[in-house]
Amino acid sequence: MSKILANREKEEIYQQIREFLAEELDADLEKITADARIIDDLGGDSLIFLELVEKFKKQYNINLEVRTIGQYLLKKSISTIKETANAIYDIIEKGESLIEAVVI
């Protein structure tokens, strides 16, 4: 089932991503800007993406395989906080129909 996120919800998600990364990567919140690269600038790894996705999957009750999300993230070539946030919005909004975005 598709869902449309309001701008206020997107802003909340964006802040949650920043706070999650600040805690997990032991980084200052000010350094977690829209253009910061999660791996190259903040020292994250592929696991951090998995953790982030799992957090929002649970929060929004999304039933999607990790493989589908992995394929989607790879296709979108996600690197920065802004790109990650946009991907999370897309995952929440598309839900199970995300698989179509991967296949097409």
Which residues contact another protein (rule: CB under 8 A)? 36-37, 39-43, 45-47, 49-51, 54, 65-67, 70-71, 73-74, 77
Shortest distance (Å) from residue 42 CB to another protein? 6
Shortest distance (Å) from residue 48 CB to another protein? 10
Q: Which is nearer to another protein, 3 or 67 (CB)?
A: 67
Shortest distance (Å) from residue 87 CB to another protein? 12
Contact yes or no for 12/92 (Cβ under 8 A): no
Whole-number Å distance between alpha carbons of 68 and 15: 25
